[in-house]
Amino acid sequence: MRYLMILLTAIVLMASDATLEIVKSTDNRPSVAIQDASEFGDMGIRGKFFRLVTGDLKVTAHFKVDDTYRSCSYDSMIDPLLKNSDYIFRYRFREGDGQRLYMDVRAYDMGSKSAIYERSYRVANRSRYPFLIHQAVIDFNDYLQMPSVGWMKRYVVFSQYTKPKQADIVVADYTLTYRKKVVSGGLNIFPKWADRDQRGIYYTKLGSRPVLYHFNIYTGKERRVISSDGMLVCSDVSRDGKRLLLTMAPEGQPDIYMYNIESGVKERLTFYSGIDVSAQFTGSEKRIIFVSDRLGYPNIFIKEVRDRAVRQLVYHGKNNNACSAHGKYVVYTSRESDNAFSSNTFNLYLVSTESDYIRRLTASGVNQFPKFSPDGESVIYIKHYASQSALGVIRLNYNEGFLFPLRGHRIQSIDW
Amino acid sequence: MKKSLIIAAAAAALLMSGCSQKKPEVDMTKQETTEKEAPAVTEADSGVSTVVGTEESGDITTLPENGRTEVIKELEAKAKKIYFDFDKYNIRPDQEPRVDEDAQLFSSDAAKDLTIKIEGNCDEWGTDEYNYALGLRRAKTVRDALAIKGIDESRMVMVSYGESNPVCTEHTKECWAKNRRVEFKLLP
């Protein structure tokens, strides 16, 4: 009996590992139909709104979303043809004064055939419409007592190339639909959120020598943090915002340093004569993972912050050159093609620092810039496939992925 | 015994049914970042800086270019770019004669008091920091080779532009090979 319990406990513990793929044979999620009662915009604009509403509802992974476009008037009766759905999400966009835009939402429970709640949302500028939709979907999800998707409101910061040696830093919603340029002029790269409330960013301005700045996205106040010859990147920020993991190369030798914001003291953490970059705190921030070419090709390694010993973390692939960490989990990019210019495929993989499992997250195309969401439940990344680009969201606990089409310039680096 | 087995199995099934929802452990403790004040700077243009507008012009005559700039441009045009293999930062045998030519050029009378800025570049296939580091290592390899050939290290500075400064933007093998390079700028 005791052995049986140990065995069952072991199975349960293994099953809680997110690196294990979850395969669901039945779909018991509630179904949702969407109705558009907008008074604003032509069919092109309404189509954009609808795609984002549908996308957000799907990204929650909590609903079976019927993506048929249906229009109706806001106060019309419930369409009997929708009786097979569990819920109806009816919305209306309408104009306000100036650039204001409103979104009204009324949700129906088809079990009781009645409206269960009604809410209104407003933005001062129409271009911010994605935030109306994200908030409306967060509230709908919360009302039905599903696990929170509050992260939809968070910003993504990224750097995009505009021309050679020129890159701007842009703040966006998580789908990159809404964008606001916050830093421009020169080569501004590797933005990283400086605090958990997303008030500031660190970024590198690459002029005659690289300089790391802190920039407050609300006040525009900029503060020079540190500079270095050759290369300088803020790869990660500790949870309390007081320590930075930097890649610096004072002698042309890229190594990892930890920089204390309050004392200004920097401490070198790696001592290899090749490339050590992209350090991320892991676990309780006593260890770091990083990318190194110490085996002759880029791969992911792990070490204690205060210890020189380095251990290989990933035993798969021959070119793993970017990673993101959250708690005990690490997601990394692996180049699958074995020579320089056969069809280029980069896939994303998830591993745990505490087990040997590897879970492949993508199957085709060039998948780059993986970043964990702050709660560690999702990964965003950029996908290039068949001359098209998209922002991908993978919901790890639900084994589901979604793509939002991407436009605009080439992305240099991204942080969520 | 049989009964307890059934109970244990049922308990485990219940536990496992909730597993797909399990979250990785996260410490959500929120803490503010401390922000130090930048040293006080008097802004001479605080008035005009608040004026809305995008283009500004003033009646300042551009400083005349001295003849030296032309010399520098000629020298930069003569300098040979050094090309690299995919994902590599060692100097290929076929590039060694080009490094020799560069070393001779930089030791010539016209160039010997100029600072040499060594710029490392990569193709578009790397991601994130690794590509910038690769560009820098290429610059360092070339700096070390030039130092062995007699160029004073204090004359050389290195910078990596990663994939940000392509000379060729087509998505072809030949084009990517052209972008994996080190090139030089000369500074007075």
ipTM of the complex: 0.82
Judge whether residue A279 has pLDDT over 70.
Answer: yes
Contact check, Cβ <8 Å, A241/B32: yes
Domains along chain B? 67-187 (3.30.1330.60)
Contact check, Cβ <8 Å, A252/B33: no
Taking contacts as CB-CB distances below 8 angstroms, the residues of chain A near B127 are 321-322, 333, 346, 368-369
A110: CATH: 3.40.50.11830
Average pLDDT (A375-379) is: 90
Residues in A 228-257 with any Cβ partner in B closer than 8 A: 229-231, 233, 235, 239-242, 247, 249, 251-254
Residue A54, in any domain of the structure: yes
Contact check, Cβ <8 Å, B130/A277: yes
Cα of A179 to nearest chain B Cα, Å: 20
Shortest CB distance from A1 goes to which of B4, B136, B139?
B4
Predicted pLDDT at A98: 85
Residues in A 276-335 with any Cβ partner in B closer than 8 A: 277-278, 291, 297-298, 319, 321-322, 326-329, 333, 335
Residue A204, in any domain of the structure: no
Predicted pLDDT at A398: 87
Predicted pLDDT at B45: 52
Average pLDDT (A146-152) is: 91
Average pLDDT (B66-80) is: 83
Judge whether residue A11 has pLDDT over 50.
Answer: no
Predicted pLDDT at A405: 84
Question: What token pair was written down for A285?
Answer: 């921030």
Contact check, Cβ <8 Å, B130/A194: no
Predicted pLDDT at A338: 55
The C-alpha atoms of residue A130 and residue A128 are separated, in whole angstroms, by 6
Residue A155, in any domain of the structure: no
Predicted pLDDT at B59: 45
Q: How many domains does chain A have?
A: 1
Residue A51, in any domain of the structure: yes
Judge whether residue A240 has pLDDT over 80.
Answer: yes
Among residues A179, A192, A36, which one has the least CA distance to residue A105?
Answer: A36
B40 in A contact zone (CB under 8 Å): no
Residue A275, in any domain of the structure: no
Lowest mean pLDDT among A47-51, A299-303, B41-45, B177-181: B41-45
Residue A376, in any domain of the structure: no
Sign of torsion over alpha carbons A93, A152, A119, A218: negative
Q: How confident is the model at residue B15 (pLDDT cuts 50, 70, 90)?
A: very low
Judge whether residue A96 has pLDDT over 80.
Answer: yes
Query: What value, to the nearest 5°, has the Cα angle with vertex B133 and ends B128 and B139?
Result: 140
B27 in A contact zone (CB under 8 Å): yes
Question: What token pair was written down for A397?
Answer: 């606990």
**Whether the model pTM is above 0.95:** no
Question: What token pair was written down for A122?
Answer: 């407003």
Residue A339, in any domain of the structure: no
Within 8 A by CB and 6+ apart from A178, the residues are: A127, A128, A129, A130, A131, A172
Residue A279, in any domain of the structure: no
Q: How confident is the model at residue B80 (pLDDT cuts 50, 70, 90)?
A: very high
Between the alpha carbon of residue B165 and those of residues A91, B87, B95, B119, B162, the distances in Å are 46, 17, 21, 10, 7
Residue A210, number of CB atoms within 10 A of its CB: 24
Average pLDDT (A43-67) is: 93
Instruction: Give pairs for A38-46: CB < 8 Å, separation 24+.
Output: A38/A71, A38/A91, A38/A92, A38/A93, A38/A94, A39/A92, A39/A93, A39/A94, A39/A95, A40/A93, A40/A94, A40/A95, A40/A101, A41/A93, A46/A71, A46/A93
The C-alpha atoms of residue B44 and residue B50 are separated, in whole angstroms, by 12
B134 in A contact zone (CB under 8 Å): yes
B19 in A contact zone (CB under 8 Å): yes
Average pLDDT (B129-151) is: 94
The residue among B69 and A311 whose pLDDT is bigger is A311
> Mind listing the pLDDT tens digit for each residue in A317-367?
888 989 999 988 999 999 887 555 556 788 999 999 888 888 999 988 889
Range of the domain at A52: 31-148
Alpha-carbon torsion, ordered A29, A35, A41, A42, to 10 deg: 100
Residue A387, number of CB atoms within 10 A of its CB: 6
Predicted pLDDT at A399: 85
Query: What value, to the nearest 5°, has the Cα angle with vertex A388 and ends A386 and A392?
Result: 110
State the greatest distance between any 2 C-alpha atoms of chain B, in Å, as a whole number: 99
Judge whether residue B58 has pLDDT over 50.
Answer: no
Among residues A375, A378, A374, which one has the least CA distance to residue A399?
Answer: A378
Q: Which of A12, A145, A333 to mutate to test the interface with B (most CBs of B within 10 A)?
A: A12
